[in-house]
Amino acid sequence: MKNKAALGNMLLILTALIWGCAFVAQSVGMDFVGPFTFNGTRCIIGGIVLVIANIIFDAVKKKNGTYKKPEPSERKELIKGGIICGFIIFIASTVQQFGIAQTTVGKAGFISVLYILIVPFFGILLRQKLPKRIWLCCALALGGLYLLCMNESFVLSKGDFTVLVSAVAFAVHIIAIDHFAPKVDCVKLSCIQFLVAGILCVICMFIFEEPQLENILDAWLPILYAGALSGGVGYTLQTVAQKWTKPSVASLLMSLESVFAVLAGAVILQQIPSVKETAGCILMFISIIIIQLPEKQKDGERI
């Protein structure tokens, strides 16, 4: 079980790397298309990638004799989970995309991971007992967010606040994944949630925007990265990893996306962080190191 927990942690850190770099893709993509167009195309691409992945995985399982046809109850739970998680992703990604257009990549990355505080709060509401060090890590992360985001007048900008709202939705998504992932096929769950989110975004795209094929093609690279890697691969890694990791710990590990977002923004977009913002990154990184330290656990318990 410890090996699975370590693997889950590694997968979540890889997810954070993919998502952190995706903030650059999301920022650049907005130069060509609107939020609904960007998210609609990326989610559909992510869904298609996962449809292909599911076909390949099922074919391999059938060849090896390990394929098991899902029971009606499992299929019902899969569809239910995919629709619920897809709707949450639609809300979270849409709000986040509007916010990213009004702030820097680094700040958007850090504010988005405020779910590290929201998830433990939800855990309390669900009567989950959390280790003291998780609260220490949350406090350090909050200090990092403060140094990065708050200006001299102690208020968040409009773009910062919009991204903050998306963090609440992403926290709900983490809780939802924790509920459904152990019960169903993770790759199929990711596939359904992305197709649902994509369909909702495409509907809004035609209602609120005027999508042009030429503009979509101009943004093909950021859309492809955000769809295939950030969407198809990233959310599948998250879903698989959360089988073995508690939501509170998972949220802290995935919050590394903020550090990767700052680094990617600096390297690719030349959005160099200030000394104050760098100090915020360091505090966040320290919290991630602490949460990775080994601790005693009961057999079968997720860390």
pLDDT digits (tens, 9 = 90+) for 120-162: 777 777 776 777 777 787 788 778 877 866 655 556 788 888 9
**Structural domain includes residue 243:** yes
Closest CA to 21 of 9, 10, 29, 33: 29
**Structural domain includes residue 188:** yes
Query: What pLDDT score was predicted for residue 32?
Result: 92
Query: What pLDDT score was predicted for residue 1?
Result: 55
DSSP conformation letters of 26-93: HHHHTTTS-HHHHHHHHHHHHHHHHHHHHHHHHHHHHHHT---PPPHHHHHHHHHHHHHHHHHHHHHH
**Structural domain includes residue 298:** no
Q: How many domains does the chain have?
A: 1
**In the predicted model, what is the mean pLDDT of residues 257-282?**
80
How many whole angstroms separate alpha carbon 274 and alpha carbon 276?
Answer: 5
**In the predicted model, what is the mean pLDDT of residues 230-251?**
82
Parent domain of 38: 2-59+86-292
**Structural domain includes residue 97:** yes
Q: How far is CA 67 from CA 34, 49, 212, 216, 274, in A?
A: 42, 21, 43, 39, 53
**Residue 149 CB partners (closer than 8 Å, separation 6+):** 107, 110, 111, 156, 160, 280
More confident residue, 217 or 122: 217
pLDDT tier at 256, thresholds 50, 70, 90? confident
Whether pLDDT at 297 is above 60: no
The mean predicted confidence, pLDDT, of the chain is 83
Query: What pLDDT score was predicted for residue 90?
Result: 96
Helices 132-149 + 275-292 axis angle, to 10: 170
**Structural domain includes residue 75:** no
**In the predicted model, what is the mean pLDDT of residues 236-252?**
81
Please, are residues 42 and 100 in contact by the beta-carbon 8 Å criterion? no
Query: What pLDDT score was predicted for residue 292?
Result: 59
**Structural domain includes residue 94:** yes
**Structural domain includes residue 27:** yes
**pLDDT tens digits for range 18-67:** 988 887 888 888 889 999 999 999 999 999 988 998 998 889 888 888 88
Query: What pLDDT score was predicted for residue 299?
Result: 47
**In the predicted model, what is the mean pLDDT of residues 68-95?**
93
Burial class (CB in 10 A: 0-12, 13-18, 19+), 290: middle
Please, are residues 81 and 184 in contact by the beta-carbon 8 Å criterion? yes
Query: What pLDDT score was predicted for residue 217?
Result: 93
Whether pLDDT at 258 is above 80: no
Please, are residues 222 and 28 in contact by the beta-carbon 8 Å criterion? yes
**Structural domain includes residue 235:** yes
The sign of the CA dihedral 13, 8, 45, 100 is negative
Q: Is the pTM of this model over 0.85?
A: no
Phi and psi angles of residue 155, each rounded to the nearest 5 degrees, phi first: -130, 150
Q: How far is CA 104 from CA 92, 157, 242, 259, in A?
A: 18, 11, 29, 13
